[in-house]
Every structure is written in structure tokens, then in C-alpha cells.
């Protein structure tokens, strides 16, 4: 029995979200202009928050993509 963290479907879905997040960063999508973000925090703090999300997505992609490609 596999846990949900080791489930290939869960990892694939996470990789899909990470690739979308990385793509949005590459095309310079302004996450600070999203409605929820603009209401919850100032723009400078929002940019730092979303930049950290980019780093998490990049780390997830670097960690799990090679394993998915080689298996």
C-alpha cells in the first residue's frame, strides 16, 4: 500500500501545478494583482510571498521531475 505522498498520480498533479506556476513566472504574470492577494497584503509583501511560491515550485520540480522521467 502506498501513501498519498508516494502516489504517482499525486506527484504528477503536483508537477503539473509546478510547471504551470513556473510558466506563469516566465511570462511575467503579476501575481500581486490577483484579487485575494491585493486585498490581503501590500504589493511589496505580496511580491515576496509569490516569489517564495515560485521557489517552492522550482524545488518541487527539480526534486520530482527526474524521478518521473526516469521511471
* pLDDT tens-digit map of 14-71: 999 999 999 999 999 988 888 998 899 998 899 999 999 999 999 999 999 998 888 7
Q: How far apart (Å, rounded) are the C-alpha atoms in residues 9 and 50?
A: 26
In sequence order, the 6+-apart residues with CB closer than 8 A to the CB of 64 are 11, 14, 15
pLDDT of residue 63: 94
Cβ neighbours around 31 below 10 Å, total: 17
Name which of 34, 27, 22, 5 is nearest 62 in CA terms: 22
pLDDT of residue 32: 84
DSSP, residue by residue, 41-57: S-HHHHHHHHHHHHHHH
DSSP category for residue 21:
H
User: Residues 3-24: pLDDT tens digits?
Assistant: 877 888 999 999 999 999 999 9
pLDDT of residue 2: 60
pLDDT at 1 > cutoff 60: no
Amino acid at each position: 500500500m502506498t501513501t498519498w505522498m508516494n502516489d504517482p498520480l499525486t506527484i504528477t498533479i503536483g508537477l503539473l501545478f509546478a510547471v504551470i506556476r513556473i510558466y506563469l513566472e516566465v511570462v511575467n504574470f503579476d501575481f500581486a494583482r490577483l484579487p485575494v492577494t491585493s486585498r490581503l497584503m501590500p504589493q511589496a509583501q505580496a511580491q515576496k510571498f509569490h516569489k517564495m511560491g515560485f521557489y517552492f515550485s522550482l524545488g518541487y520540480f527539480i526534486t520530482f521531475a527526474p524521478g518521473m522521467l526516469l521511471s
